[in-house]
């Protein structure tokens, strides 16, 4: 484990000293926080365009499931597919397997089997918030991600994989201090651990997810999940990342 990752781990572990204050906050939020449903609609689609077509798969937690959105068309995977189809004037076939509350370990068991087998061109993995909430250790998180990637490649071939950045939970409007600080440090730790893992694995890429001071306007009314504007901005960032890294060929 690198020196920077060790420093982040020490900070995140020290923040656990705030648990006597943060735990009552977490329990109160669990009882009272607004629970938004996953968006209705199909979690797969096909966009017309030139051959050869592009096959995109995505797997992840509640944001990828479109929690708080009016339809799946507003969610990240559909928006990313639309952007890639427009950029390359190519046919894009996409599918998303996502569920609220899943961790990297649970997604391997619960979500991977939902994806249609066969060769694909790009896989998007959007996880980390639930692992942060469960205070996942960075080595265990890396191991879970590595296992997930291995199983995805067994099913879909030696496909490029994007690990989306774990959002800084200290920016989530719902979370009060010191709970926000504790989870923010944990999410930043796991994000750095994912980036370190991606740097060690062939054709695995970490796509940062920056949240600035104006990030509050990108959340649903629950203060926890990205709204339609947040998904649009996220999809635009990922689209640029895919194109700049030349992950889908020509």
DSSP codes, 109-152: HHTGGGSPPS--SEEEEE--HHHHHTT--HHHHHHHHHHHHHHH
Please state whether the predicted TM-score (pTM) of the whole model is above 0.75: yes
Cα–Cα distance, 178 to 15 (Å, whole number): 9
pLDDT at 30: 86
Bridge partner list, 45: 94
pLDDT at 211: 75
Task: For tokens 């060769």, name the residue.
Answer: 119
Express each pLDDT in 90-115 by its tens digit: 899 999 999 999 999 999 999 999 99
pLDDT at 16: 86
Cα–Cα distance, 244 to 250 (Å, whole number): 12
Judge whether 206 and 195 are in contact, CB under 8 Å.
Answer: yes
Question: Under DSSP, is residue 244 helix (H, G, I), strand (E, B) or coil?
Answer: helix
Cα–Cα distance, 86 to 82 (Å, whole number): 6
pLDDT, mean of residues 45-62: 93
Half-sphere exposure of 37 (CA within 13 A, CB side): 6
Domain 3-244 belongs to what architecture? 3-Layer(aba) Sandwich (3.40)
Residue 1 has pLDDT above 70, yes or no: no
Take residue 54 and report the two structure tokens written for it. Answer: 């592009």
Express each pLDDT in 219-242 by its tens digit: 999 999 999 999 999 999 999 999
pLDDT, mean of residues 41-47: 96
pLDDT, mean of residues 191-206: 97
């Amino acid at each position: 484990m690198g020196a920077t990752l060790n420093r982040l781990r020490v900070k995140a572990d020290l923040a656990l000293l705030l648990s006597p204050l943060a735990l009552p906050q977490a329990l109160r939020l669990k009882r009272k926080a607004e629970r938004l449903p996953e968006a209705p609609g199909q979690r797969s689609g096909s966009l017309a365009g030139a051959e050869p077509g592009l096959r995109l798969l995505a797997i992840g937690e509640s944001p990828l499931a479109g929690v708080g959105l009016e339809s799946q068309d507003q969610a990240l995977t559909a928006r990313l597919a639309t952007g890639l189809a427009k950029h390359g004037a190519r046919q894009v076939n996409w599918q998303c397997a996502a569920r609220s509350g899943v961790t990297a370990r649970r997604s391997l068991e619960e979500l991977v089997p939902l994806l249609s087998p066969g060769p694909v061109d790009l896989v998007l993995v959007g996880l980390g918030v639930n692992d942060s909430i469960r205070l996942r250790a960075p080595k265990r998180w890396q191991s879970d991600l590595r296992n997930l990637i291995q199983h995805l490649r067994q099913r879909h071939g030696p496909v490029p994989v994007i690990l989306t950045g774990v959002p800084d939970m200290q920016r989530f409007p719902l979370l009060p201090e010191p709970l926000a600080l504790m989870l923010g440090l944990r999410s930043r730790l796991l994000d750095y651990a994912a980036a370190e893992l991606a740097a060690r694995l062939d054709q695995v890429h970490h796509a940062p997810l920056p949240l600035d001071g104006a990030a509050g306007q990108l959340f649903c009314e629950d203060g926890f999940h990205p709204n339609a504007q947040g998904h649009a901005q996220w999809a635009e960032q990922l689209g640029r990342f895919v194109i700049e890294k030349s992950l889908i060929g020509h």
